[in-house]
Amino acid sequence: MVDAIEAPGVRVRALAPAPAFLLCGDAPTLALACAALGVDPPAPCASRAAGPLAVLWLAPDRLLLLGDAQAASRLRAPLGERPHALVDVSDGEAALELEGPAAARLLACAIMLDLDTGAFPPGACARTLLGKAPALLLRTGEARFVLRTPRSYATYACALLAEGARGLAP
Amino acid sequence: MIDSPRARAALPLVRFTFDGRAYEGRAGDTLAAALLAQGVRILGRSFKYHRPRGLLAAGVEEPNALVTIDRGAGRVTPNLLATQVEIYEGLAARSQNRWPSLRFDALEINDLFSALMPAGFYYKTFMWPAAAWRRLYEPLIRRAAGFGEAPREADADVYANLYAHCDALVVGSGPAGLAAALAASGRGERVILCEQDFAFGGSLLAERAATIDGEAAAQWRAQALARLAARANVTLLNRTTAFGLYAQNYVCLAQRLSDHLPPAQAKGPRERLWQVRAGRVIVAAGAIERPLAFECNDRPGVMLAEAARVYANRFGVAPGARALVACASDSAWRAAFDLRAAGVEIVLIADARASVAQALQDAARETGVAFELGARVRRAHGRLAVKAAEVEGAGGLRTIACDLLLMGAGWTPTLHLFAQARGPLAWDAALGAFRPAQAREDIVCAGACNGALSLAMALDEGARAGGEATRVHAVAHDWPCASGPVAPVAPVAQGAAFVDFQNDVKARDYELAQREGFVALEHVKRYTTSGLGADQGKTGAINATRLVADLSQREPGAVGLTTMRPPFTPVSFGALAHMARGPLYEPARETPAHAGAAARGAVFENAGAWRRARAFARAGESEPRVVAREAMAVRTAAGLFDASTLGKIEVAGPDALAFLNKIYVNDFSRLAPGRCRYAVMLNEAGLVMDDGLVARLAPDRFHVTTTSGGLGHVLHHMEDFLQTEFTHLKVWLVDVTEQWSCLALQGPRARDILAPLVEGVDLSRAAMPPMSLREGAIMGTPLRLLRAGFTGELGFELYTPARFGAPLWDFLLERGARCGLEPYGLEALDVLRLEKGYIVIGQDSDGACTPDDLGLARLIGASKGDFVGARSLRLPHLASAGRRQLVGLRLRGGSRPLDVGAQIVEAPAPPAGTRALGHVTSSRVSPALAAPVALALVADGRARMGARVFVTRLDGPCEEAEIAAPVFYDPAGERLNG
């Protein structure tokens, strides 16, 4: 696996493994969890951040809690006996960060989403495909993205982005 | 504008070669323009008759001038259009379909015998003997016909891909396209403007006289481009062909990035595929001039009138000295006048129409150009170049000397993209062609491709399509654009009067097709090969329709057009594949311990996208020996297997148990936390879909495994039922396949190896019986430990978070070495599981097996109530006699395994037509039993225990076998329970 890709206008680097929990439940349960974590419930295909924690909307009954190892224990008491599922998925995905004015253009070599800031503003997130790999894309800034792929696809994802970087110019 | 020899002479020289000969062109030339300027008239040989051919056109519709461009090893491209290839210093171009040379081609002899080779002659002539077709006739025909040779070396170039989104995609940058792009981008829309040519401007590039808003056309074009380039919401793409328009305005563009540069300067990708999602598509693709059909209308020097105008006005190249214009359209007159201004003598305008606009006649008289109305060219003379033309007019037939014979029968809108999108077409008699019957809401044709042939109309339509309701461009010196209604193919067209130039289809071939009863145009196309060329009949299709209509006395609108399919022009395979080549063709999924396995000599194989260790070879060991060694290590000591590819799903929520009881046949009600069970799921038809283990972590949490390849459809199946049928259940499914590494430690020494290494788990028989689950730790990392396996031995599956998979693999192999622990691969696993009669879904089952067929009826929870597939299992045919049941096969002697898939019959040499009893599903040589063993599906198999059957062999007589229980090793399960 490539650790970093440098191309004109964009830098790709592998992010260190981060804590990740998948929280499933009905809407009131998810709202309760968000309140306990100190964020507003994210809108569909959007995320909310609070300190190191990012809460990503994945589906109507599903949030991904990224970056806070204590997130699960912080939710234990507030969620109590409410029906929900909280699963540690910290090892399931590998993450890359893409940064630079050409980051969206590089992603567009393999992601078919409209990455214009109007359509996919900072904070937006979506499950999609990177070439033939499943992917979760999160925009963390105008020119910064986090791309998560299942661990076994990480080599492919990096190689694909490296090839995409070769295709950026001219 | 390079509209004069003087302007041309001021351009930098560019040297290139054609068929090895050195030539000089000028910067901005296409190969066609440069060769024409150098007096080269023959650029190719025709497809079937090998007739010498020159340039017919100046753009993408060119049917004749196909060349091969050689840019070095792995960079040879055949069948490029000389009218599209840009010359650069050192360009090496080759002609095609000729031997030994363009001027003398041995196969031109075909032309002499052309009367013997009418449409369909292949089918009629090469009928006998049948065997000769493949060995003799087809190779010969393929050698004789056809164009460039496919490259033999791997493509050395890089190709790029880009997904793009826009509000308006404008295809074509002529007056309509520019006006549309200006209007749409002026409203703030995101606009992509693509142009297949290297220069933007379309027809404006050859416009001498007209002015737009008071500016010369060239000036207006330059200003329009500057305005577009300055807008951040506009993407301008030249050298970019929109070749396919698919559902929901998904449009594919091929952008050529570096073929116009000398190879040494070509950096980065060669081409880029743009996959565009457009809010709306404005097709401003222009129109293609129609040729006329007369005898020898394919001789070099016979050219479309507008093409000659383009060569003169855009490239400063006079395509001849003495031109005769054969036409039925106003635009050909304009071409004649422009050529005359460029110094070409116009010997005659022979217009087939009885009357033309007075303005044209006046203009001709003013400039002293002779014209004749109601006159038709009947024949061109000259072989390697046109020398004269026979004109039939009021004064009878006369022969007029010329070296350029221009044709112009009117204009055919370029409707390919619109038609690809299933836009409706209608016959327009005035236009003499089809045009869009109505615009679609999100696909609009504007300008010449909508039949708006004048400059003013094109600008208007473009601006309107772009969203500007009011703006009108003031155009002066516009040109009348009438044509027809003369049929472009004369009813008496005989001999070599070509309709489809690229595929060598003559007017009389259509007559033959008509005589032989081909009515539908699609049938005529297949019979005559009209329109089957790489140009898809860009110049010929419309004339074919009119000819077929005349021959069958139908309206052209009733005859229609043949289906227009993508791509509009040929697209390189490289662009279509773009990044998906070599290792990027498909993701190679690697398990966490992949590198560790590779370090121990693993040979990997593809299992879906996964790379799985097939065997761990040692130097000098043959694969059967490796497999036997690994299998025996598991039977006698211990083996370690990487099972991380298993699908893993966490099923959590208060209704998890109720949900699993509905999805699997098993009843898990009495499955206590800390226990697991082998489970089978059915589809709604009652047939086995997948199997795996269901382990209960807690009252409301289960850890479920699926087969490695089954995860996707199992998860989909579960979600499908959860979201549509069992919506009342509070349960969630989380795919944790990649979260957990799974290593299987199997064999009689497994407990000895593991016991000192795990923390917090008592591995003893009493504390941890088979099919139990414990949570503990190993190497300080959390561990889910299952006492289970697929080998029939005492064994454990160790689930750890994925990042610990690699270190645990090495740790276990190191610590277990003194107990004889060895890694084993898929091959050994297959032997071990077959010895125990464990089935592999999809190998031993075939999608039509019930649990009972596979001997798994005992798993069904009879009292638990309904589950998916339960109702179907009650259907009589799923329980009837004669169903194929899983059994074992024992061979009477022999050491070769049976062939998987071999048929099973009752007699050793069954007569043809005998129905097989069943087939072999798995077969191996068992090292533990030192004998071949197999599993099979056999009709009423369990009632045939001990029966003698015969199994077919691919390479010899049937082999005798005995039907046995499908468990060959340790049938009592003592080892498993040890």
Q: State the pLDDT confidence band at B131, using cuts at 50, 70 and 90.
A: confident
Please give the average per-residue pLDDT across B4-28, as a whole number.
Answer: 93
pLDDT digit string, tens, across residues B830-843: 999 999 999 999 99
pLDDT of residue B232: 97
Supply the pLDDT for residue B880. Answer: 92
Q: What chain A residue is nearest to B804 in terms of C-alpha separation?
A: A91
Residue range B892-919: mean pLDDT, rounded? 90
CA dist A169 to A13, B139, B955, Å? 20, 43, 57
Mean pLDDT computed over B296-307: 97
Cβ neighbour number for residue A35 with a 10 Å cutoff: 12
B874's CB contacts (< 8 A; 6+ apart) are none
Residue B410 pLDDT more than 90?
yes
Contact between A83 and B730 using a beta-carbon 8 Å cutoff: yes
The CATH number given to whatever domain includes residue A150 is 3.30.1360.120
CATH level 3 topology of B881-978: Elongation Factor Tu (Ef-tu); domain 3 (2.40.30)
Note whether B159 contacts A156, CB cutoff 8 Å: no
Q: What does the block give as tokens for A86?
A: 């909280």
Q: Are A100 and A84 part of one and the same domain?
A: no
For A164, the closest chain B residue by CA position comes to: B160
- The verdict on A75 and A98 lying in the same domain is no
The CA distance from A49 to the nearest CA of chain B, in Å, is 23
Inspect the interface and report whether the beta carbons of A105 and B584 lie closer than 8 Å: no
Number of domains in chain A: 2
For residues B978 and B624, what is the distance between their CA atoms, to the nearest angstrom? 29
Residue where a domain stops, chosen among A88, A105, A139:
A88
Do A164 and B164 make contact, defined as CB atoms within 8 angstroms?
Answer: no
Q: From B701, which residue of chain A is nearest by alpha-carbon distance?
A: A85
Overall average pLDDT of the B740-755 stretch: 98
Q: What are the residues whose beta carbons fall under 8 Å from the beta carbon of B500, sequence distance 6 or more?
A: B63, B528, B529, B530, B531, B533, B537, B539, B540, B541, B544
CB pair distance less than 8 Å for B269 and A89: no
Please answer yes or no on whether A119 and B801 come within 8 Å at the CB atom. Answer: no
Please report, for chain B, how many H helices and E strands are present, in that order. Answer: 26, 51
Span B600-645, pLDDT tens digits: 999 999 999 999 999 999 989 999 999 999 999 999 999 999 999 9
Using an 8 Å CB-CB cutoff, list chain B residues near A108. 162-164
Whether residue A73 is found in the same domain as residue A99: no
Fold of B157-287+410-473: FAD/NAD(P)-binding domain (3.50.50)
Q: Which amino acid is at B106?
A: A
- According to the model, what pLDDT value does residue B127 have? 66
Residue B441's pLDDT band, with cuts at 50, 70 and 90, is confident
Q: Is the pLDDT of residue B727 over 90?
A: yes
Mean of pLDDT over chain B: 94
Residue B122 has pLDDT above 70, yes or no: no
Give the closest residue to A69 by CA, choosing from A17, A124, A33. Answer: A17
B5-111: what CATH class? alpha beta
d(CA B936, CA A119): 56
Q: How much of chain B, in percent, has pLDDT values that exceed 90?
A: 86
DSSP B505-518: EEHHHHHHHHHTT-
Domain ranges for chain B, please list them: 5-111, 157-287+410-473, 594-645+739-833, 648-735, 881-978
Residue among B810, B833, B836, B834 nearest B823 (CA): B810
Which of B161, B165, B734 lies nearest to residue A85, judging by beta carbons?
B734
pLDDT of residue B438: 84
**How far from each other are the two terminal CA atoms of chain A, in whole angstroms?**
26
- Is B610–A24 a contact, with Cβ atoms under 8 angstroms apart? no
Chain A contact for B772, CB < 8 A?
A: no
**Domain termination site, one of A88, A122, A141:** A88
State the nearest Cα–Cα gap between B492 and chain A, in angstroms. Answer: 55
A113 and B163 in contact by Cβ < 8 A? yes
Domain check: are A116 and A160 in the same one? yes
Residue B473 has pLDDT above 90, yes or no: no
Q: From the CA of B277, how many Å to the nearest CA of chain A?
A: 9
Spell out which residues of chain A touch residue B165, defining contact as CB-CB under 8 Å: 114, 116, 119
CATH number of B594-645+739-833: 1.20.140.10, 3.40.47.10, 3.30.1360.120, 3.40.50.300? 3.30.1360.120
Q: Which of B245, B691, B189, B259 is nearest to B468 (CA)?
A: B189
All residues of chain A having their beta carbon less than 8 Å from the beta carbon of residue B650 are 85, 87
Q: For chain B, what's the residue count?
A: 978
Question: Which of the 8 DSSP states describes residue B503?
Answer: T
Residue of B nearest to A86 (CA): B652
Whether residues A27 and A83 fall in one domain: yes
Task: Please state which CATH number belongs to domain B648-735.
Answer: 3.30.70.1400
Position A1 pLDDT exceeds 60: no
- What is the pLDDT averaged over residues A115-142? 97
Inspect the interface and report whether the beta carbons of A163 and B652 lie closer than 8 Å: no
Residue of chain B whose Cα is closest to the Cα of A133 = B587
Report the chain A residue with the minimal C-alpha distance to residue B800. Answer: A91
Q: Given pLDDT bands bounded at 50, 70 and 90, which one contains residue B132?
A: confident
Same domain, A25 and A71: yes
- What pLDDT is stored for residue B114 in this prediction? 78
pLDDT in tens, B220-244: 999 999 999 999 999 999 999 999 9
Same domain, A108 and A72: no
Nearest to B160 by CA among B576, B571, B566, B570: B576
**Among chain A residues, CA nearest to B805:** A91
| Euclidean distance between CA atoms B311 and B339, whole angstroms | 9
Q: How far apart are the first and last CA of chain B?
A: 92
Q: What domain range is A157 assigned to?
A: 4-16+92-166
Give CB contacts under 8 A, 24+ apart, made by B546-552. B546/B432, B546/B487, B546/B488, B546/B489, B547/B293, B547/B487, B547/B489, B547/B499, B547/B507, B547/B510, B548/B510, B548/B514, B548/B521, B548/B524, B550/B487, B550/B489, B550/B491, B551/B510, B551/B511, B551/B514, B552/B514, B552/B519
Residues of chain B with Cβ-Cβ distance to A164 below 8 Å are: 160-161, 579
Closest CA to B661 of B605, B720, B763, B731: B731
Mean pLDDT for B571-576 is 96
pLDDT exceeds cutoff 70 at A170: no
pLDDT digits 0-9 by tens, B254-286 = 999 999 999 999 989 999 999 999 999 999 999
Does position A2 have pLDDT exceeding 60, yes or no? no
Indicate whether A10 and A47 sit together in one domain: no
Q: Are residues A64 and A127 in the same domain?
A: no
Contact of B588 with B611, CB cutoff 8 Å = yes
Domain boundary at A88, A113, A140, which? Answer: A88
| Nearest-CB residue to A156 (from B162, B588, B737) | B588
Selected residues 92-151 of chain B with any CB under 8 Å from a CB in chain A: none
Between B336 and A169, the more confident residue is B336
Closest residue by Cα to residue B17 from B84, B68, B65, B76: B68
The rounded distance, in Å, linking the Cα atoms of B345 and B323 is 6
User: What's the pLDDT score for residue B492?
Assistant: 58
pLDDT bucket at B145, cuts 50 / 70 / 90: low
Q: Which residue in chain A is spatially nearest to B645 when comparing CA positions?
A: A152
Q: From the CA of B159, how many Å to the nearest CA of chain A?
A: 7
Q: What is the pLDDT of residues B353-399, one digit of tens each?
A: 999 999 999 999 999 999 999 999 999 999 999 999 999 998 899 99
- List CB contacts (< 8 A) between A169 and chain B: 267-268
pLDDT of residue B146: 67
Of A139-148, B366-375, B469-478, B949-958, least confident by mean pLDDT is B469-478
pLDDT of residue B491: 57
- CATH number where A60 lies: 3.30.70.1520
Beta pairing, strands B701-706 & B732-735: unpaired
Is B652 touching A (CB cutoff 8 A)?
Answer: yes
| H helices present in B266-329, as ranges | 305-315
